[in-house]
Amino acid sequence: MWRSPEPRFDVASAICQGGRDYQEDAIVTDFPFGMDSGVVVLADGMGGHAAGDVASKIVVTEVYSELKFQSANFADFEAEIPQYLTSAAVNANNVVREYVMAHPETRGMGATLVSLVLIENRMFWMSIGDSPLYHYRSGNMQQLNEDHSMAPQIDFMVKQGLLDPEAGKNHPDRNCLTSVILGDRVAKSDCPKTPFELQVGDIVVVSSDGLQYLEDERIQKILHRYRRRKSAEICGHLLEAIEALADPDQDNCSFSVIKLNHNKPVIRAIRAKPVGHIETHAATITRVVELDDDDAIAAKLRQDAAAKKTVQQEQAHPPRPRRQEPPLEEPTAKPVIKEVKPVQKVETDDNQDKTQEVDEATPPAKIAAGGK
């Protein structure tokens, strides 16, 4: 249960089409309230209509789905987050390649990538291309990730006096990319192994290069002026500044503003289950049953409900105890006495010496007649 007065992260996103005929930027943010972690994925497509927008959507979809799948492991396996970011980018590149092979007319489409994972006050990122990742703290703003375009080389030439500042600013090769997700080998990627630690009050801006139509000094000034406002208000002021430029060549612009409100530990009333715990109470486990079993399950539920109701009624109205009756004595069987009569031996044949035992009370005439 969350007991903090405000969430750890204050996050808001914005997107505008600029002066282009279609939108090739894609962005997604996921910072669930009550969680210690969050994810941002941004892609800036290239390749024209029906290609650049497809590439950016593929990249954002594939990277975000992979990070979301691994999000349960962020806290326990924090050291593996750079590997998760790298694996997600590789998978997105493979999907782009498969799409181009299935649709040859989209060959040449691609997208930049900036993906962030934040754990409490620690920030990991993966970037490919020229989409900037800005960090503001105490009045100063800097770009954290590498710029995979010709812009750094052109700026170096300006510093060395080899190129006029105005010519360097408007150089036609300034936006040429040296690394991008095309479905081919990715030349460069920026994914530090150690996280960048944020402090309370820091502001992070992840954006497409459309935001760079504003000078860095202008972006820094807006962040400083509205640093105590909500992220949604900061997004609104950045969009207003872009609209105020009224540049007909304004590129698509998308960005997300993230503020770290506090770094307090999360207090939860519900204790997490240990790793490897197996639920043994079948009643609380969601399961799938066959449709043919509906009637049997319904009958079983009715039977259980009736049995439960009977038990409750017996507990509410227990039966009165019965008076114990003395056990009945079984009657003693009387002995059977047989009558014993005296017998005598008599001769039954005059010619033969044969005798027979007869009742002593039998008359002689009956004996002579053979007992008849």
Q: Which pLDDT value is given to residue 2?
A: 44
- Nearest alpha carbon to residue 133 among 45, 38, 203: 203
Q: Which pLDDT value is given to residue 200?
A: 95
For 183, list phi and psi in degrees, rounded to 5.
Answer: 90, 0
Q: Which pLDDT value is given to residue 288?
A: 73
By CB atoms closer than 10 A (0-12, 13-18, 19+), residue 217 is: exposed
How many angstroms separate the CA atoms of 125 and 80, rounded? 12
Q: E-assigned strands of the chain?
A: 9-16, 25-30, 37-46, 110-111, 113-119, 122-128, 133-137, 140-143, 196-197, 203-207, 253-260, 343-349, 354-359
Asked whether 200 and 227 are in contact (CB, 8 A), the reply is: no
Structure tokens at 63: 């990277």
Would you give per-residue pLDDT tens digits along the chain (372 residues)?
Answer: 445 468 899 999 999 999 988 899 999 999 998 788 999 999 999 986 668 999 999 999 999 999 999 999 998 999 999 999 999 999 999 999 999 999 999 999 999 999 999 999 999 999 999 999 999 999 999 999 999 999 888 888 888 888 888 888 888 888 889 999 999 999 999 999 999 999 999 999 999 999 999 999 999 999 999 999 999 999 999 999 999 999 999 999 999 999 999 888 766 666 666 766 666 655 566 777 666 666 777 778 888 888 888 888 777 777 666 666 666 666 565 655 555 566 555 555 555 555 565 565 566 655 555 555
Neighbours of 1 (CB within 10 A): 8
How many angstroms separate the CA atoms of 205 and 198, rounded? 13
Q: Which pLDDT value is given to residue 298?
A: 77
Break the chain into its structural domains and give their ranges.
9-260
How many angstroms separate the CA atoms of 49 and 52, rounded? 6
How many residues are listed for the chain in this entry?
372
Structure tokens at 300: 């079983």
Instruction: Give me the helices (H) in the chain, please.
Output: 52-70, 81-102, 151-159, 165-169, 216-225, 231-245, 294-316, 364-368
3-state secondary structure of 41: strand
Asked whether 214 and 245 are in contact (CB, 8 A), the reply is: yes
Structure tokens at 75: 């806290």
By CB atoms closer than 10 A (0-12, 13-18, 19+), residue 27 is: buried
Whole-prediction pTM: 0.74
Q: Which pLDDT value is given to residue 1?
A: 46
How many angstroms separate the CA atoms of 127 and 287, rounded? 41
Asked whether 253 and 42 are in contact (CB, 8 A), the reply is: no
Range 9-260: architecture per CATH: 4-Layer Sandwich (3.60)
